[in-house]
Amino acid sequence: MGRKYFVGVDSGSQSTKVSLIDQDGTVVCSASQPLRPMIHRKPGWVEHPDDDLWDSLKVALRRLLERFDGDPAHIVGLGLCAIRCCRVFLKADGSLAAPVMSWMDVRAYETYQDDPAIAYTGSTSGYLTFRLTGELKDTIANAFQHQFPTDMETWNWSQNPKHFGKFGIPREKLLEMHLPGEILGRVTADAARDTGLPQGLPVVSTANDKAVEALGSGLIEPGTGLLSLGTYITSMVYGEKYRAHTEHFFTNLASVPYRYLYESRGIRAGMGHISWFKKLLGDEFEERARRNGHGSAEELLEEEAQAVPAGSDGLLIAPDWLAPSNALHRKGVMIGLDLHHTRAHIYRALMEGIALRMKNNFDDMNRELGVKPERLIVCGGGSNSSLFMQIVADVFGVTAVRTAINGAAALGAAIAAAVATDHYSTFEEAVERMVHIKDSFHYDEKRRRAYDRINREAFRELPTLLEPTLQRIQSLRSDLDL
C-alpha cells in the first residue's frame, strides 16, 4: 500500500502550524506562520485583523509543501483543527462580514444580534473549511455550547425551541454540522493554487482545539488525565456522558463522536506568563545566553532554575496575568520577594504557580467526578521544558509523561484524517499506531511532600486572601482615573 501522509492543521491564537504526518505518527516536515497582533478597536474587543487566519494558513501550507520531497499523490487527507470560542460572521459569498472575534473578545459570548449583511455565523473551523472547499460545513464539536444552540447529547443543533431561541441566531444562518472524522469537502482549484495542496484532497472535520490536542496526546480512555500547557492552560479527563450541572468543570465534546472530555477551570494567558518574563529580560539576555553556549534564553534559565529548591525559597506567584471580563480586578501577584531572589527564582516560581493552580483545579474536578487518575499526559509548549515536567510530576504526585510529537493538535487532526480516509477503522486503532510516549517523569516523594505543604498552608488560599485588596486596587484605579 505504500507510505501515506496526512496534513494536520493547528490554527491557533498566535500562529498557524501545519505538519505532514505519516500513518505511523512520524512528522515528516512542519511549517508555521505567526499571526499578526490582535486589534482592539474598543475596550474588551479582541479581533484578528483583515483575513489573517486564512492568509497565515496559505503561507504555512505553501511552506510545508515546499519542504516535502515525497510524492504529493501520497497525501491522502487534511485534518482541520482551529481555535475554539471565536466567532465568525460571513457574507452570502462566504467572505468575512466583520473581523473574526478572538475567544478573548467579550462579544463572542453575547447573544447574537442579527444584521442583514451577515448570511452565516460560525466558528473559525467552519470559515477555514469554506476557504479550502467552498462548502459551508463545520464540525459540531467546535460549536461551543455557550455561543451556539448545540445539543450536547445528540451532537447536532438543538431541537428545543426555547433553548435554540435564547441564542438569537436564525436557523438559516447556521452552518451544516458534521461529526469529527467526516469528510467536509475537497480542496478546490482556487485553494490548491493558493496553498500548494493537491486539488481534490479530502478536508476532514475534527473538533475544538483542546479536544483535538487531547486526541493527539492519546487521551482516549479513563484512568489518565491531561494537562495542556498552552496559551490557555487547562486539564482534562475522558468521559462517556454529558454532565450538565457541575461546579468545578464543564463537559466538552471530544474528537471521537459521542465521547466527552471533562475540562477543569484553567489559567488565562497560560504560558504567556513565561513569555512575559523572558520578554522583560530583553534581547540582550537572549544574546548573552547564546554567546555563553546556550541555544536560547530558556536553556540558560532552565539551567539556573534547576539549582533553586522546591518552593523557590519562599517566593509564591499567583498566575493571573489576564483577568476575565467579569472579574477585571483579578491580577497576578508575587509574594515573598526579598533581596536574595534572582531571575531563576522568579522563573521557577512562575512554573510552580502554574502547576499548583492547576493541581488544585484538577483535584477539584476529579473529586466531583469521583475519579483519581494515576497518570498525567502533559502537552503544549510548556512540556518542552524538562524542569517544568518534573515540577508537574512533583506537584501532582503522579507520573507525568510527554509524547514524541509536541504539536499534539496537528497530530490529532492527522488522526481524524486517517480515520476519515479509512486508513484506520477506529480512532482507538489510529491512536495506538500514531501516538507514542517520549519519556516519563516520576515524582520525588520529598519534593511532593514539600509542595503539598506549601499548597495547603499558603498557596491554595492566596486568591481568597488577595480578593478584597485587588478589588480595592481596581476601585482606586477607576476613581483616580489611573
Q: Where are the beta strands (DSSP E) in 209-307?
A: 224-229, 233-239, 249-253, 260-264
Amino acid 469: pLDDT: 93
Q: Are strands 202-208 and 75-82 parallel, antiparallel or unpaired?
A: parallel
Amino acid 367: pLDDT: 97
Per-residue model confidence as pLDDT tens digits over 80-134: 999 999 999 999 999 999 999 999 899 999 999 999 999 999 999 999 999 999 9
Whole-number average pLDDT of the chain:
95
Amino acid 16: pLDDT: 97
Instruction: Retrieve residue 361's grid coordinates.
Output: 483545579
**Do the Cβ atoms of 403 and 379 come closer than 8 Å?**
yes
Instruction: Retrieve residue 466's grid coordinates.
Output: 488577595
* Long-range CB contact pairs, 12-16, < 8 A, 24+: 12/83, 12/209, 12/230, 12/231, 12/409, 13/83, 13/102, 13/103, 13/231, 14/231, 15/56, 16/53, 16/56, 16/57, 16/59, 16/60
Q: Which fold has domain 5-212?
A: Nucleotidyltransferase; domain 5 (3.30.420)
Per-residue model confidence as pLDDT tens digits over 361-409: 999 999 999 999 989 999 998 999 999 999 999 999 999 999 998 889 9
Query: Rounded distance, CA 347 to CA 380, Å?
Result: 18
Q: pLDDT-derived band of residue 482, with 50, 70 and 90 as boundaries?
A: low
Per-residue model confidence as pLDDT tens digits over 222-258: 899 999 998 899 999 999 999 999 999 999 999 999 9
Amino acid 481: pLDDT: 67
Amino acid 288: pLDDT: 87
Per-residue model confidence as pLDDT tens digits over 6-39: 999 999 988 999 999 999 999 999 999 999 999 9
Single out the residue of 416, 269, 242 nearest to residue 357, CA to CA. Answer: 269
Amino acid 47: pLDDT: 97
What is the reported pTM? 0.92
Q: How many CB atoms lie within 10 A of CB 364?
A: 15
> Among 312-316, 362-366, 459-463, which stretch is predicted with the lowest mean pLDDT?
459-463
Query: Rounded distance, CA 112 to CA 105, Å?
Result: 14
Q: What are the domain boundaries of the chain?
A: 5-212
Query: Rounded distance, CA 166 to CA 317, Å?
Result: 40
**Do the Cβ atoms of 187 and 78 come closer than 8 Å?**
yes
Per-residue model confidence as pLDDT tens digits over 326-347: 788 889 999 999 999 999 999 9
Ramachandran assignment for 407, one of left (phi > 0), alpha (psi -120 to 50 degrees), beta (any other): beta
Residue 480: pLDDT over 80: no
Q: pLDDT-derived band of residue 292, with 50, 70 and 90 as boundaries?
A: confident
Per-residue model confidence as pLDDT tens digits over 33-76: 999 999 999 988 999 999 999 999 999 999 999 999 999 999 99
Amino acid 86: pLDDT: 96
Q: How many CB atoms lie within 10 A of CB 53?
A: 23
**Do the Cβ atoms of 225 and 263 come closer than 8 Å?**
no
Q: What is the dihedral of CA 351, 357, 360, 364, to 10 degrees?
A: -130
Strand partners, 224: 375
Question: Stretch 158-186: mean pLDDT, rounded?
Answer: 96
**Do the Cβ atoms of 434 and 21 come closer than 8 Å?**
yes
Helices (H), 421-460: 427-434, 445-454
Residue 221: pLDDT over 60: yes
Amino acid 35: pLDDT: 96
